[in-house]
């Protein structure tokens, strides 16, 4: 693809995703732009299917809606509420530690700064950027496996890791697309542009895709 094609790609995907199911953390953000809920839901979503994340988030937030309330729960109570998300016991411990830090260092408020977010236990660049974009509506580039795969498959970047992809996109992706880019590509990745045998025949942006490393498609 040509770099200039990115404008048309974003335009097409904005329309296409209206017919597709959005990622669960995006759905949570649209219901309530609450940085704490977005942070915790994102942690729950790691290595976990969206349907499981949705139910686990609902159960957990019915018990505690703020860092202060979360600290009143035991790790076992949190683990029970979020089961069967991936690594639920480790995540329960992480949630407790994050909440302790939020209360002690940030007066119970989730930071809106990338570097401060990265200081929280269990928070990597993907999670931190998602909190920045969905929680605070500030420019950030959240790169997960879908974004990393698709921008390389398109031929827009040539990178080896999600972190490399993030910094490559910071250099060339127009800033007006930063906030929505993750939502658009994750939705595309979950619906059409699968890791193996993507559904290229019905992809709305197929004419702009170089199909790098695509060996088999439908």
The answer to whether the peptide bond before residue 72 is cis (omega within 30 degrees of 0) is no
Q: What are the DSSP calls for 46-93, one per residue?
A: TTS-HHHHHHHHHHHHHH-SSHHHHTTS-HHHHHHHHTTSTTHHHHHH
Q: Is 172 assigned a catalytic role?
A: no
Query: What's the confidence (pLDDT) of residue 185?
Result: 97
Catalytic residue among 144, 172, 210, 215: 144
Residue 30: pLDDT above 90? no
Tell me: the pLDDT tens digits for 190-203? 999 999 999 999 99
- The encoded tokens of residue 91 equal 């995540």
Domain CATH number, residue 190: 1.10.1670.10
Query: pLDDT-based confidence at 154, cuts 50/70/90?
Result: very high
Grade residue 31 by pLDDT with cuts at 50, 70 and 90. Answer: confident
Q: Specify whether 146 is located in the same domain as 130.
A: no
Q: What is the per-residue pLDDT for 33?
A: 87
Range of the domain at 110: 34-136
47 and 115 together in one domain = yes
Shared domain check, 150 and 68: no
Compute the average pLDDT of residues 155-171: 98
pLDDT at 89 over 90: yes
Of 120, 136, 152, the residue that ends a domain is: 136
The pLDDT of 143-171, averaged and rounded, is 97
Residue 115 lies in a domain: yes
How does pLDDT run across 91-125, given as a tens digit for each residue? 999 999 999 999 999 999 999 999 999 999 999 99
- Do 16 and 93 share a domain, yes or no? no
SS3 at position 20: coil
Band of the pLDDT at 153, cuts 50, 70, 90?
A: very high
The string of pLDDT tens digits covering residues 51-67 is 999 999 999 999 999 99
Catalytic one of 21, 80, 96, 126: 126
* Domain limit, last residue, from 136, 160, 185: 136
Active site residue 183: no
């Amino acid at each position: 693809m040509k770099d200039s094609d990115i404008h048309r790609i974003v335009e097409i995907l904005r329309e296409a995703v209206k017919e597709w199911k959005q990622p669960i953390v995006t759905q949570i953000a649209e219901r309530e732009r609450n940085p704490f809920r977005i942070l915790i839901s994102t942690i729950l979503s790691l290595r976990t299917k969206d349907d499981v994340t949705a139910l686990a988030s609902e159960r957990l937030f019915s018990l505690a809606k703020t860092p202060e309330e979360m600290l009143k729960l035991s790790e076992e109570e949190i683990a029970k509420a979020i089961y069967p998300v991936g690594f639920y016991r480790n995540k329960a411990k992480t949630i407790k530690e994050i909440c302790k830090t939020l209360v002690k260092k940030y007066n119970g408020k989730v930071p809106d700064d990338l570097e401060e977010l990265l200081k929280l236990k269990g928070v990597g660049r993907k999670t931190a950027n998602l909190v920045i974009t969905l929680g605070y509506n500030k420019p950030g580039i959240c790169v997960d496996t879908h974004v990393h795969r698709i921008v390389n498959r398109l031929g827009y970047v040539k990178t080896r890791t999600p972190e490399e992809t993030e910094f490559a996109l910071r250099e060339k992706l127009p800033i007006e697309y930063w906030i929505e880019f993750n939502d658009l590509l994750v939705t595309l990745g979950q619906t059409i542009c699968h890791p193996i045998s993507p559904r290229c025949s019905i992809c709305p942006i197929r004419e702009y895709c170089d199909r790098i490393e695509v060996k088999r498609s439908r």
